[in-house]
Structure formats: structure tokens, C-alpha cells
């Protein structure tokens, strides 16, 4: 087992994508990434919703400055995370094209895309021998 560390906003993007994809809770098999990380995700989502409703500065701090660490016990979980993040990066690329003329929005999206590209490379560099084949 290894620990994966994400900036909160990265983890939010990942978990939302897992929810919306074929790895959704209804289709995520036992031991899948969504199932494995559902509890910390639900706790974080509740906290973000609360902060979003009452304290924009704390919400921003949590999203951009704090990290989430989750256990990764299998190659399948790691692959699911990488695949989901790649899908998010592709969606961001499309959003960047659609945001023509909105410089601030383009800069935000390009920042996210660059950070996710770095995260994807970091996750791809993990030695899979540290994980079970499942």
C-alpha cells in the first residue's frame, strides 16, 4: 500500500470525475478507487459545502492550500485515478477552447490543466511493484 497526496481541489476534480464515470458508486466494484476513497470524499464534500455557504476565505484556503491523503492499495485504484485525471484534463482543454476572449477564465483553466498534468505524471511515476495487481 502507498499513500496518495492531493491538493484538495485536485481530489475534488478526481472524485467528481469518478462519480460521473463508469467508476460511479453504482458501478465501482469492491476495492475500486471511488469505493476506497468515498468516506474521506464525503467528509470533505460536506465540509466544503459548509464553508462555501459561510466563509469564502476558508473555503478557498481549504481548496487551494490543504492536502488530502488517501491509501492506494492496488494498481487498479492507481490506474482509475490516472485515467479519471486524464479525462478531467481533456475536459479542461475543451473548456479552454470554449473560453475564448475570457482571459481570466482561460488563465484559471490553464493553471488547473498544468497542475493536473504534473499530478498525472507524478502518479504515473509510482512504482507499481509497491501495489497489489488487483
Q: What ranges do the domains of the chain cover?
A: 2-130
**In contact, 96 and 113? CB cutoff 8 Å:** yes
What whole-number distance in Å separates Cα of residue 67 and Cα of residue 59?
A: 13
**In contact, 9 and 63? CB cutoff 8 Å:** yes
Give yes or no for residue 28 having a pLDDT over 90. no
pTM, two decimal places: 0.90
What whole-number distance in Å separates Cα of residue 62 and Cα of residue 52?
A: 10
Mean of the pLDDT values across residues 99-119? Answer: 96
Give yes or no for residue 134 having a pLDDT over 90. no
Amino acid at each position: 500500500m502507498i499513500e496518495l497526496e492531493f491538493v484538495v481541489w485536485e481530489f475534488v476534480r478526481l472524485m467528481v470525475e469518478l462519480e460521473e464515470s463508469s467508476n460511479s458508486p453504482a458501478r465501482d466494484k469492491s476495492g475500486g478507487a471511488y469505493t476506497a476513497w468515498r468516506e474521506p470524499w464525503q467528509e470533505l464534500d460536506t465540509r466544503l459545502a459548509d464553508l462555501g455557504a459561510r466563509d469564502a476565505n476558508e473555503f478557498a484556503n481549504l481548496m487551494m492550500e490543504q492536502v488530502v491523503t488517501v491509501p492506494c492499495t492496488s494498481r487498479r485504484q492507481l490506474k482509475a485515478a490516472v485515467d479519471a485525471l486524464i479525462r478531467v484534463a481533456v475536459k479542461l482543454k475543451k473548456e479552454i477552447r470554449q473560453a475564448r476572449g475570457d482571459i481570466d477564465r482561460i488563465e484559471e483553466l490553464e493553471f488547473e490543466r498544468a497542475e493536473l498534468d504534473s499530478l498525472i505524471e507524478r502518479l504515473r511515476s509510482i512504482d507499481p511493484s509497491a501495489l497489489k495487481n488487483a
